Amino acid sequence: MDAMTNNGAWGLRLRKLTNKAALAFAVFVVISPALFVMLWMLSLAFKNEIDNIAYPPVWIPNPPTLANYRQVFERSPFGLYTVNSIIVSGSATLVGLVLGVPAAYGIAKGKAMSMGMLIMLARITPGLSYLIPLFTLFRFLRLTGTLAPVAITHLVITIPMIVWVMISFFEDIHPELEEAALVDGCSIWRAFVSVSLPLARPGIAVAAILAFIQSWNNFIFGAVLAGRETRTLPVAVFNSMTYEQLSWGPLAAAALIVTLPTLLLTIFVQRDIVTGLAAGAVKG
């Protein structure tokens, strides 16, 4: 009897280990393309140009060099472009929260999911569809070449993202809590600020992070509406390419500079993202 019990325990442990190994292998298969690209970019960014174009390929820098990063900052004012990206993405995210969170609350409590789908349609629509009318409008207002039109157009990215994420959080809040606040004499706006908003704080953090990342990585609006001194980082990376010669080292270094802030942000707040998304996925 004891032998059968031990065999059953070992079988259960073996199945658990097998399931964990299968899950780890599946995750590795899914992330391996992105992991390979990231490692390849790191290799290019820390090698000299001779090693980058060598055949057979040189995978490991020997020795690593920072010349590509120095070249990036010497050729163009990447510090200025970083500040521009922070201003554009930060302001678009902040304004998106101010407008998107109350909009999501109204949609959730009014059961107006058709309105939510309409707002999400603005995010699904390709950015090129907005460029001609927006460029004409901002040129008429003499704002082209400044940061203002870039930040305003990024609201097309941040507001739908924030609204769509926040709808599920506000739907999960028990209506009895708001009804109790209304019985105590609170207005609808006061109940929203005092009751619903604090309870939805994890969702607000998730929505802000996702909206900021989407805004940070946007290329098309900055490429058309920004000027030489108001470029964002993705546009600066694109403009670092030349027709005469494609320098893989500086290009990879510039791409890593653009990727690093959002990568670090995602790593530091990944627990908040998972917690917030999980909380928004639980109904009742």
pLDDT tens-digit profile of 48-58? 877 777 777 77
Question: How high is the mean pLDDT of the chain?
Answer: 80
205 falls within a domain: yes
Residues 29 and 80 in one domain: no
Mean pLDDT for 254-261 is 83
Which pLDDT value is given to residue 284?
Answer: 45
- Indicate whether 210 and 258 sit together in one domain: yes
| Lowest-pLDDT choice from 35-39, 40-44, 128-132, 244-248 | 244-248
Same domain for 84 and 192? yes
Residue 283 clears pLDDT 60, i.e. is over it: no
Confirm whether 189 is domain-assigned: yes
pLDDT at 8 over 90: no
* 174-188 average pLDDT score: 75
Q: Which two tokens stand for residue 22?
A: 């299968």
Choose the weakest-confidence range: 37-51, 74-88, 202-216: 37-51
89 and 34 both lie in a single domain = no
Higher pLDDT, 270 or 85: 85
| Pair 156, 200: CB distance under 8 Å | no
Number of other residues whose CB lies within 10 A of the CB of residue 141: 11
Distance CA 59, CA 51 (A): 9
Would you state the pLDDT for residue 256?
Answer: 85
* Same structural domain, 26 and 164: no
Indicate whether 211 pLDDT > 60: yes
- Domain boundaries, position 116: 76-281
Calpha distance 109→64 (Å, rounded): 57
Question: Total domain count for the chain?
Answer: 2
Q: Is residue 18 domain-shared with residue 132, that is, in the same domain?
A: no
Q: Is residue 65 part of a domain?
A: no
Position 82 scores a pLDDT of 87
Angstrom CA distances, 219 to 51, 119, 208, 238, 253, stand at 30, 21, 19, 9, 18
Judge whether 157 lies within some domain. yes
DSSP codes joined into one string, 156-221: HHHHHHHHHHHHHHHHHS-HHHHHHHHHTT--HHHHIIIIIHHHTHHHHHHHHHHHHHHHHT--HH
pLDDT digit string, tens, across residues 145-166: 888 889 999 998 899 889 888 8
Average pLDDT of the residues in 129-144: 84
The answer to whether residues 199 and 271 belong to one domain is: yes
pLDDT for the residue 90: 92
Could you tell me the two tokens for 2?
């004891």
pLDDT, tens digit (0-9, with 9 covering 90-100), for 87-111: 999 999 999 999 999 988 888 887 7
Asked if residue 133 has a cis previous peptide bond (ω within 30° of 0), the answer is no
Does the structure show a pLDDT above 70 at 275?
no
Q: Is residue 58 part of a domain?
A: no
Answer yes or no: do 22 and 161 share one domain: no
Q: What is the pLDDT of residue 88?
A: 93
Let me know if residue 101 belongs to a domain. yes
What is the predicted pLDDT for the residue at 5?
A: 57
Q: Is residue 240 part of a domain?
A: yes
115 and 187 inside one domain: yes
In a domain? residue 64: no
Entry pTM: 0.78
Q: Read off the pLDDT band of 250 (50, 70, 90).
A: confident
pLDDT of residue 92: 93
Q: Do residue 40 and residue 81 come from a single domain? A: no
Binned at pLDDT 50, 70 and 90, residue 24 comes out as confident
Model pLDDT, residue 282: 47
Q: What is the CATH number of the domain that holds 154?
A: 1.10.3720.10
The reply to whether 123 and 249 lie within a common domain is: yes
* Domain co-membership, 33 together with 130: no
Between CA 140 and CA 148, with CA 146 as vertex, the angle to 5 degrees is: 80
